[in-house]
Structure 1
Amino acid sequence: MTTVNHTGTSHTVFRLLGIPGLEDQHVWISIPFVISYVIALLGNSLLIFIILTRRSLHEPMCLFLCMLSGADIVLSTSIIPQALAIFWFNAREISLDCCITQIFFLSSTFITESGILLVMAFDRYIAICYPLRYTTILTYDLIGKIGITLVLRGYCTVFPIVFLLKRLTFCKSNILMNTTCKHIMLARLSCDDIQVNVWYGFFVLMSTLVPDILLVFVSYMLILWTVFHIPSKDARHKALNTCGSHVCVIILFYGPGFFSALTQRFGHHISPSIRVLLPSIYIIVPPMLNPIIYGIKTKQIRDQVVHVFFTKHK
């Protein structure tokens, strides 16, 4: 379970406690995890299938939604199976390499999804503010390059964290009070100086998520400015309605994460179980609700879903 190097004893296997204080309730807690995961997999897979197989949906907004659904599947898969293994089979042990791999995919996918939400806001901005140039600006070639850039941004930004963790000697403890591995949580088990890890984590936050949120805000301020200068009331309502789904998804994605960050920073008096559950919410809830929101509020997608199921019954 341990290896020895020049700095002392370093743990290579860690033990995830799950949700501290609620160990006897793990089976019951697993129920919403299972439901959300099944809905996330089925809903997002259905959206991807319908968008890719229906040429009428091969437009920028739907293609970006397809990217979002793919990121949602990876995001939920990166933590929920591990949590269910703890809840059902008491499979708490995880190797250092697996732990770092989980951190890499969880963090990089979260950053990628944040970028996708930003370009979806840009898509709505172009559609409302420059409708006549919409198809000439957002070409298939540009959409493909945007998708590759977002994935590379997520992976390249998080990749140095792998080396920052691998250099550490984990001699304090091998107990992680969570259902999944987190960068700073794992680093705090080290006997080495982790200031580089802390500052790089701060750099990742300030260079990705914070600019994304600010640019999304600016995009919607410009959209609202344009919409409220449209003379027709019906046209204003239609323009705002096209943004409704995206605004709901943005709130679901950033909202719980914001409150979770506040809890982790200032909520030291809050029970450990709550501090573990809150971060789980912003990982498992958006992937579950995103396809439902877009399926209900986007008429094109809703019509295609109905068409698929009705044609199968005929």
Structure 2
Amino acid sequence: MASDLLIAQPDEGPVLDLAGDLSLVLPSDFPRIVKPFAIEAHSRMLWSELKQPLTPWLLMLGFEDVDPKPPWLLPGLRDLQALLWLAEQLDHKINSSGDGVVTVVLPPATQALAMLQLARQGPELLDSLWDPLLTWWTETRRKLSHFDRMLRLQLPAADALRPPEVWRRRLQTLSTCLNNPAHSELVLALIGDAARWPVLRRRCALMPLNSLPLSRIVLQGQGWTMIPLSDSGLPILITARDGLDQRDAIRQWWGSASTPPPSVHWGRGDQQGRLTLTCRVFAPGVEKADLRITCRDQKLEISALEQRLHIPLPEECHGFTPLSARVKGVCIEIEFR
């Protein structure tokens, strides 16, 4: 399915492979540039940028030569490194002013969600990792200043240990693209027969319930007699696992317009002379039995399918109480009064 989607895609830009297995499915004559995330080669490149600011630390700790290699022992470091690589590739593409879009092939949905959530943080992602360490080191260095003079220690200053500024700039560019639906499309590709819809609908709701703008859906499987979520405004393609060439249908699907409703929309109304506000949340795949609605700290909290979405309440909604919640089509509607 990945091969068919990419071959039929009407774009000529590079394909960035964060999943790591495109080479196993694409034909040898695939015309576009494919760049896989090579974690070991990228680790060496990152180390060349970090070696100079980290050298004082390494000398202080007695390390003379370090050659970090994956796999990393700390969870999340691989995803962070993959995002730094993606941000670097996007930066090169923008600076080269080449034609065509950049297509990024992500790992399966749950892992992709974690990566996208990190990527949307931009430079704040680095700050959240570095700043607590630098604050601790600044205080520790101050306490050790007396020993520093007596023992002639070479204690590095915290400001010299910050990550390269180019990392921050690239992560900001990546975050800007992901947070603006006009600059990016998120396509969800799922494999499953119609009988597995109770599982598949959870995947369809995953990205919208985390404020990520879902653009297109493709389902590959048997037994589909009707298109699910047909009123979502999303181009939804159903393909069969019968080996037939379906690239014409895929090309048509790529060319169709995606017109989902806004992620969150507030509407005003009047009920017996009293102002009512309705929050409409795009959440394809969610059913009424999945919902739990609460309000706290001037935020609306929607819990469904093991996901939690926080929506700031508009100022005119302060003091209002949610009276009802329902699922209408592909949206959740919460009424306040």
Which TM-score applies when normalising by structure 2? 0.28
- Between structures 1 and 2, the one with greater helix share: 1
Which TM-score applies when normalising by structure 1? 0.30
Answer with 1 or 2: which has the greater Rg.
2
Higher relative CO (Cα under 8 Å, sequence separation at least 6) belongs to 1
- Between structures 1 and 2, the one with greater strand share: 2
